[in-house]
Structure 1
């Protein structure tokens, strides 16, 4: 019986310690994540031509995705292009990591691909999500038009039967 009580007390002490650590982490909030982001942002030389070109590429792709929102064929090509870019990001990171001295002042391409994920894959996934949402809205409006046409057709058939 004594062993059971000591085991229960040890368990309660362990749970209290875990709750205390969790509450301490919750009190710190998002500050550590924000500090990491700010450090990441300041570590990058944003005036490098290839980074400016990368940002211009993402901007042009975003404008193209928004301006072609009525043309589903172009949207699907852009969607596949964006997803292919994300798919090949690991290979791109490896190639750019071995040739960074040709175009950059410092090696941004670590083995985990954090930089390329943030500045290449992240915007491509954002653009793909925009295209996906647009496609879903287009499909919803198409379903509504189809249902209206079906109801008009049924009404026409029922009118013809009455006559």
Structure 2
């Protein structure tokens, strides 16, 4: 019995060491990511009119998405438009990279499209996920309604057979 207790204590100590190492690695790995994000955030001049317009566009699109949650066809169109915006982000990045002097004070449009992915595609994907989740809830609700109607219909049929 003492051997089992000793083995269990050794195992618990090993697991505790592994958890501590994993925790310290995660903390050290997340620090550069957080620093990169803060650097990215501070490198952007948020007072530029086109950036304010872009953020306002995403805000209005989110409000329209939430307000139209009961209109499935409109939401489907919005979903397709949002995904089309993400699909054409690379082409949009190339166009904006060539013409940035016309509307911005600095070139935000790197060849990899990081900026546009974060500020254009990211919000569009979030809005698309909101629409998708809303559609799934709507479908579940419709299935429940259909099944209830089917059960009521069967109950009426069986009631009519008894008469």
- When normalised by structure 2's length, the TM-score is 0.84
Unmatched 5+ residue regions in structure 1? 1-18
In the alignment, is residue 153 of structure 1 matched against residue 116 of structure 2?
Answer: no
Unmatched 5+ residue regions in structure 2? 1-17
Change over 3 Å in CA distance of 1:137–1:27 after alignment to 2: closer
Residue-by-residue CA offset, 1:111-139 (whole Å, 9 max, x unaligned)? 00000000000000000000000000000
* Counterpart for residue 7 of structure 2: none
In the alignment, is residue 106 of structure 1 matched against residue 135 of structure 2?
Answer: no
Aligned residues: 143
Q: Which runs of 4+ in 1 moved over 4 A?
A: none
How large is the Cα RMSD of the aligned pairs?
A: 1.4
* Counterpart for residue 119 of structure 1: 119
In the alignment, is residue 87 of structure 1 matched against residue 54 of structure 2?
Answer: no
- When normalised by structure 1's length, the TM-score is 0.84
- What is the alpha-carbon distance in structure 2 between the residues aligned to residue 99 and residue 27 of structure 1? 40
In the alignment, is residue 144 of structure 1 matched against residue 144 of structure 2?
Answer: yes
Change over 3 Å in CA distance of 1:37–1:147 after alignment to 2: same
In the alignment, is residue 52 of structure 1 matched against residue 88 of structure 2?
Answer: no
Q: 1:73, CA displacement in angstroms?
A: 1.1
In the alignment, is residue 135 of structure 1 matched against residue 101 of structure 2?
Answer: no
